[in-house]
A and B are shown apart, each in its own frame.
Chain A
Amino acid sequence: MTQPFLSIRKLRKAFGAFTAVHDVTLDIPKGEFLTFLGPSGSGKSTTLYAIVGFQDPSSGDVLLQGKSLLAVPSHKRNIGMVFQRYTLFPHLSVAENVAFPLRVRRRPDAEVKKKVADMLGLVRLESFAERLPGALSGGQQQRVALARALAYDPPILLMDEPLSALDKKLREEIQAEIRRIHRETGVTILYVTHDQEEALHLSDRIALFKDGRIEQTGTGEDLYLRPATDFVAGFIGNSNFLAAEHLETVGGAATIRLADGSLVSGISANGSFERGQKTRLMIRPEAFRLERNPASAELTVDVVDVAFYGERRRIVARTTTGQEIDIRPTSAAMASQDATPSRRQVFFDPGAAFLFPA
């Protein structure tokens, strides 16, 4: 097996009785854009801090190209990092901020000048070189921070929720910028966010954290279309969970009984279930259809509300047992449908529905 570029081995971090990170193991190939996604307090930032050396792990190891980083002090780890808050040096100009890592490495002046010009070009802030950080907008400051973090060609760039202080429009702009810079420089990026959309837009792979453990690692599509646990299903995208009783599973296809008594077969089963076990059936809002097709299962609902969301509509409906569900058909599909609140059938492909333990 080839040696992974960055390797996190059974990393564990405990604060007293509380364990923030439980035995996280992860290999990251060179050039990958990997995102740690998870709710706050799920251990993703703690893992990142162990990699940069702000926190010593209780056990486990972090290897860069096969060598342990743990004994190396932060300032010698040679890792680039962009922080959540703006951490530019307020008394230094934009150019001197970007030059700082090179100056502390005592690089020759000519090299520093050239590199600063290159980096400011990369983040398109050439004309701001002489400004002080206080005279820049939040988005510009984060771009300078990015330039500073990349100035010394670090093998890995870490980003700890770098866009969380920016408004939505700026966030999208800088996301595009980060993607472009990743493409152009080929740097390995470890990105931390609690925003699933951000993770899906940016990453090659996502490691989804929950309570200090990695719940699932995979591409955005993996996590969205093939969630390993109900937590993943609930965290990535929107999901409806319906109470169901498991009857039998044959070859990965489960048959269940929903709360209203209807039977559904051909459900994708995640794990093995007992006969009669209480389970939860996950169906994405956009997996529901308003027209029957031969393979589809059906569900009787009362439409409560219909709202227009541009390309899609959102129907809030209630099952006959009183559970509220969310349905997002395309607006085109809705055009020929009666949108007034009433009792009706909705349909879903059992293969796109997942069964999880209750």
Chain B
Amino acid sequence: MSVETEQSIATKRMPAGLGGLLPALTLIGLFFVVPVLALLLRSVTDPAPGLQNYTALLGDGTYMRVFFNTFLVAAVVTIVTVLVAFPVAWMLAIMPPALASVMFGIIILSMWTNLLTRTYAWMVLLQRTGVINRALMATGIIDQPLPLINNLTGVTIGMVYIMLPFMILPLVGTLRAIDPMTLRAAALCGASPFQAFRRILLPLSLPGVAAGGLMVFVMSLGYFVTPALLGGTSNMMLAEMIAQLIQSLLNWGLGSAAAFILLIVTMALYALQLRLVGARRATGGI
């Protein structure tokens, strides 16, 4: 029902909206579509016309490892972010509004702090002689420093920290729309807290998890600074590889092809999510 209304409103507003969209469309056209097309052109013409850049990327074990590693990091980061963000978002959704806005302020403030500063801070914390390892050794919990940096652990910690707000914000919106009385009703129906979570809260919050998860996954796919500083050489990510191909090796053709593959994957994922969420709307009315 609500979908129909939204659509009819959208159709009605379309003609009037087009004129207003013109400046934005021009901007996107000039500074996004045109460069992307140039990139695509370069990937099939540099150094010679043909698909050799793509066959080189997709046929080579080293490059494929980078692709695989990129997806692995993005997937791990997304999963850990969802797990950490969910309870935080739930607390934010049910706490008194005044307190929640203070908490939101803290979360947003962390987003405003310089990315490099935050990543260097993690380097200080995570390295072999860093604060965390020294504290753990001083308290006798461990004898040897834990390998927390220059590996997947380091990248995951650093990136989850950066991605959390992007997961928490859409999730709070979804969770706030869930009436807490629904959960009380579930309890009175005999559902244990776990059953209420699995059968009621989780399904109802899926649109938010999907929206936030996709955002985090896509952002992680193209992330550069944090993996470059906190990751190891053995688990390089795509963005780092593109930077190396273009900056160090001056191989514009290969770099463009890699960038284009990343773009295609991202857009495919977005299309998939639109379909899933669209289908849910049509059947679930949520």
Contacts and interface: CB of A to CB of B under 8 A. Distances in A.
A135 B1 contact: yes
B176 interface: no
A75 B1 contact: no
A74 interface: yes
Chain A, interface size category, equals 20 to 34
A89 B284 CA distance: 11
A83 interface: yes
A28 B219 CA distance: 61
B244 interface: no
A100 B184 CA distance: 13
Contacts of B106: none
Contacts of A76: 190
Main secondary structure of the interface of B (DSSP, over half): helix
A54 to B, nearest CB: 6
Contacts of B190: 75-76, 78, 101, 104-105, 152
Nearest to B285: A134
Interface in A52-108: 52, 54, 74-81, 83, 85, 87-91, 100-101, 103-105
A324 B205 CA distance: 58
Interface string A179-191: 0000000000000
A91 B284 contact: yes
B189 A101 contact: yes
B203 to A, nearest CB: 5
B22 interface: no
Interface stretch (B81-89, B191-199, B254-262): B191-199
A132 B285 contact: yes
Interface string B50-90: 00000000000000000000000000000000000000000
Interface in B182-227: 182, 184-193, 195-196, 199-200, 203-204
A152 B285 CA distance: 28
A87 B204 CA distance: 13
A104 B187 CA distance: 10
B285 A90 contact: yes
A148 interface: yes
A54 B199 CA distance: 20
A88 B184 CA distance: 11
Contacts of B184: 54, 74, 83, 87
Contact of A74 (B179, B188, B195, B284): B188
B181 to A, nearest CB: 5
Interface of A: 52, 54, 74-81, 83, 85, 87-91, 100-101, 103-105, 132, 134-135, 145, 148-149, 152
Interface of B: 1, 179, 181-182, 184-193, 195-196, 199-200, 203-204, 284-286
Given A81-B185, A83-B181, A100-B186, 9 more contacts: A75-B193, A78-B190, A87-B182, A90-B204, A90-B285, A104-B199, A135-B1, A148-B189, A152-B189
